Amino acid sequence: MRKFLILFSAWLVLSSFGDKQGSDVSNIETNAISQLINDMTNTNAIEDNTLLAKGVKHAANLWRESDGTEAQFEAFCKKNYITDPVEREMVFQKVSRNIEIITGHFNKITLDLLEPVHLNIFEQHPIDNAFGAYSVGSHWMNDFYQNKIAFMIALNFPAYSLEEKEANAKDWSRKEWAYARLGDYFTARVPSELLQAAGAASAGSDVYIMDYNIHVGHLTDKKGNRFFPEDKVLLSHWNLRDEIKANYANKNGGLEKQKIIYQVMQRIISQEIPEKVINNGGFEWDPYANQVYQNGKAIDATPEPNERYQQILNNFHANKAIDPYYPDQNTFIKRQYDGAKEISAEATEKIFTDFLRSEETVKVGKLIKKRLGRKLQPFDIWYDGFKARSGMDESKLDAQTRGLYPNAAALEADLPNLLVKLGYDKERAQWLGDHIAVDPARGSGHAWGGAAKGQKAHLRTRISPKGMDYKGYNIAIHEFGHNVEQTISLYDVDNFTMNGVPNTAFTEALAFIFQKRDMLLLDINDDSPQKDALKKLDLFWSAYEIMGVSVLDIRVWKWLYANPEADAAQLSDATMQIAKEVWNEFYSPVYGVKDQTILAIYSHMLNSPLYLSNYAFGNVIEFQLEQHLKGKTFPTEVDRIFKQGRLTPNQWMVEATGNDLSAQPLLKAAKEALEELK
């Protein structure tokens, strides 16, 4: 998961297209703008009149009464518009350098302040959370409007809408792309206190989720049976989900373990979970009867007071307060899709629902039912039986990974060797490894990239005192893929303003590609003649699951905007109802059961609002990249593809693979795989 890309780039994401509404309004009249453009065109040797007009209009959109009079705006434009392309290039390079310095140092400060929150090597205190919630970069854009740097950039490097970028994508040079991405920095004026509030809400949700552990070793059924080692602790939802996945290979009690964890998930979603059993191993809990025991005696235990849904509301209200500053992207939904992802929510939902309705879902479901030898259960959205490891004893994998990685330092030292196994030569593998640090995480872990050359990417991963178990290793390899992308797309991209990927789905794609090679990195090879077909179905089933979760996420946020005064209890009821509706529409035809809420278990809905679509698109992108990589040198192609930087999503895919971004190839591949397995 690359959630912390969102935290760091909040300054950019929150400054999408628009202008401020309120008492300090724009004071530049339309006719004055037209006259100014005519005057500047007639008195200067303008190379591109269209660019001049766009720059003046963009700067006028951002100008406020507090910035100066209309006459002062005109004087500013005439003085600061750059007509010489050589000078424009020089200014671009200077601005790029300085923004890298500023954002890079902000990134470093934020990363360091969050260490006591994110890493398990610190004793925690509430003061750590207060510092972790501090948004160090929330003021810099407002400062740049006040000192007029933002206007110099907006005037000479204006912003382009998504439609304009897509229309120009095939024709723009790398320099034109870099200029356009610089234009993305200063496009709205959001008060710093609102950015701080959004950052605080996000940080609060992170803290809530990072300590949401379930002591599954203390779970019992009505007969008092226990199913897990007494010291086993699983973080919601990641580790709970992965425990379900792991038990497909366990023929002795695996199904009972899956069922009891599923029941735990149901209690979390409904907020019927007793508050006493969250992050607490001092009690026994029967999640079926929802009864808590202490020293063998039943005790009263109050449920968690809808805190799960309050976290969603906190993020909603903080981001909704920013809406008035974006007339074009005037909801958080639009800013996350049209802005951050550069794929609209409407287009996203259509792509996903078309996929979810495909006849292949029913056919693959029947195959899984046959392979399991039983009816499908709702938790089979995480069916893991198509993978090479699905038939392996996970305890043996745990022993292997614990021996290899007793601590974070051991994993960090081994990163170059892992890259060599993926085909990198030793020099390049060592260089990449030297730019990645491994830290022991308090939560499930994450990847956090550098924001300026000279900074390392951080792989934060959970390692128990016994060493890294297989589940932790599998997640760590996923984050390692993020780190490799973060390093390539920062250091190897030709212009700083182009660094990164079109949206986080693209880094998720490489993370998935790495994660799928976890067994290879353990020197365990799959020689099955059906492995390619099984890999296709595994990816198809993963996409089927996460697309439904993504649709739920979008529809919950639509409900929030339709019901902005709702409280946590009302949101809880609405989320469960929407989850049932999504299930009944897209999953009930496959599973044969109705009114399931399991899709609402994802922690991302709390601490990474509207992020989940990135995983779904990541599956789509992953498949297209994997098809492209066949028969090619893995490191050469990965380096080439990810140093493209931040093109628009479709153009990035065209230049990476020669094909448009589409879910259709994955549907076609699933159909072919089903035929092959017959």
Q: Are 402 and 382 within one domain?
A: no
Least confident range from 7-21, 210-224, 624-638, 654-668: namely 7-21
User: Quick one: what percent of the chain has pLDDT higher than 90?
Assistant: 81
Q: Is 673's pLDDT higher than 80?
A: yes
Alpha carbons 401 and 411: distance in angstroms, whole number: 10
Q: What percent of the chain has pLDDT over 70?
A: 96
**The predicted structure's pLDDT at residue 356:** 97
pLDDT in the model for residue 470:
92
Residue 110 lies in a domain: yes
What's the alpha-carbon Rg for the chain, to the nearest Å? Answer: 26
Is residue 461 within 8 Å of residue 472, measured between CB atoms? yes
Last residue of one domain, picked from the residues 471, 486, 521:
521
Read off the pLDDT of each residue in 118-124 and give the average, rounded to a whole number.
83
* pLDDT, position 447: 93
In whole angstroms, give the CA distance from residue 480 to residue 512. Answer: 10
pLDDT greater than 90 at residue 361: yes
315-339 average pLDDT score? 93
pLDDT at 47: 75
pLDDT of 157: 97
Angular region, 423: left φ>0, alpha ψ -120 to 50, beta rest: left
Judge whether residue 32 has pLDDT over 50.
yes
Query: Does residue 493 lie within any of the structural domains?
Result: yes
**What ranges make up the beta strands (E) of 301-404?**
none
For residues 293 and 401, membership in a common domain is answered with no
Domain boundary (137, 160, 193) is at 193
Separation of alpha carbons 518 and 189, rounded Å: 45
CA distance linking residue 622 with residue 541, whole number of Å: 14
Q: Is the confidence at residue 57, as pLDDT, over 90?
A: yes
Burial class (CB in 10 A: 0-12, 13-18, 19+), 161: middle
pLDDT score of 21: 41
Does residue 289 sit in the same domain as residue 418? no
- Are 27 and 145 contained in the same domain? yes
pLDDT of residue 9: 42
**52 and 138 belong to one structural domain:** yes
> Domain range holding 47?
4-193
Dist. CA 73–CA 79, nearest whole Å: 10
In-domain check, residue 183: yes
Same domain flag for 239 and 214: yes
Is residue 201 in some structural domain? no
My answer on whether 117 and 258 are in the same domain is no
**Cα 101 from chain centroid (whole Å):** 25
CA pair distance 298, 281, nearest whole angstrom:
15
172 and 76 co-located in one domain: yes
- Sequence-distant (6+) residues with CB within 8 A of 433 are 412, 415, 416, 419
If you ran DSSP here, which 8-state letter would residue 44 be given? S
pLDDT of residue 327: 73
Is 154 contained in some domain?
yes
With tokens 């390619």, the residue in question is 532
Q: Looking at residue 394, what is its pLDDT?
A: 82
Please report whether residue 329 resides in a domain: yes
pLDDT at 22 over 60: no
In this prediction, residue 16 carries a pLDDT of 37
> Quick check: 274 and 285 in contact, CB under 8 A?
yes
The mean pLDDT of 191-211, rounded to a whole number, is 90
**Residues 266-294, mean pLDDT to the nearest whole number:** 97
Reading phi first (left if > 0) and then psi (alpha if -120 to 50, else beta), residue 636 is in alpha
For residue 390, pLDDT over 80 is answered with no
Average pLDDT over residues 420-432: 98
pLDDT tens digits, 610-665: 999 999 999 999 999 999 999 999 999 999 999 999 999 999 999 999 999 999 99
Domain shared by 491 and 585, yes or no: no
Q: Which helix (H) or strand (E) holds 670?
A: helix 664-677
Residue 17 above 70 pLDDT? no
pLDDT beyond 50 at 15: no
Single out the residue in 494, 521, 548 at which a domain terminates.
Answer: 521
Cα(639)–Cα(644) distance, rounded to whole angstroms?
9
Average pLDDT over residues 296-321: 96
The stretch 288-306 carries a mean pLDDT of 95
Please indicate, yes or no, whether residues 155 and 13 belong to a single structural domain of this protein.
Answer: yes
End-to-end CA distance of the chain: 35
Distance from C-alpha of 613 to C-alpha of 625, rounded to nearest angstrom: 18
* pLDDT band (50, 70, 90) for residue 292: very high
Is residue 308 helix, strand or coil? helix
Q: What is the mean pLDDT of the chain?
A: 92
pTM, rounded to two decimals: 0.85
Q: How many domains does the chain contain in total?
A: 4
Whose CA is closest to 92, among 9, 173, 161, 11?
A: 173
- Between 79-88, 510-519, 526-535, the lowest mean confidence (pLDDT) is in 526-535
On whether the CB atoms of residues 382 and 513 are closer than 8 A, the answer is no
Residue 450 phi/psi, 5° resolution? Answer: -70, 160
354, 492: one domain: no
Strand partners, 457: 436
User: Between residues 131 and 548, which one has the greater pLDDT?
Assistant: 548
Using pLDDT thresholds of 50, 70 and 90, give the confidence band for residue 378.
very high
The dihedrals phi and psi of 231, each to the nearest 5 degrees, come to -95, 10
Dihedral of CA 512/515/519/520: which sign?
positive
Question: Residue 340 pLDDT > 80, yes or no?
Answer: yes
Residues 147-175: what's their mean pLDDT? 95
* Residue 202 forms part of a structural domain: no
Spatial distance between the Cα atoms of 269 and 27, rounded to a whole number of angstroms: 49
3-state secondary structure 211-254: CCEECHHHEECCCCCECCCCCCCEECCHHHHHHHHHCCCCCCCH
Per-residue pLDDT at 123: 87
Which tokens hold the place of 667?
């549907």
Is residue 227 assigned to a domain? yes
pLDDT of residue 408: 95
* Range of lowest pLDDT (339-348, 422-431, 582-591): 339-348
State whether 147 and 30 are in the same domain: yes
What is the DSSP code (8-state) at residue 303? B
Give me the pLDDT at residue 301, please.
95
Range name among 440-444, 459-463, 668-672 with the lowest pLDDT average: 440-444
What single letter denotes the amino acid at residue 199?
A: G
* Whether residue 448 has pLDDT greater than 90: yes
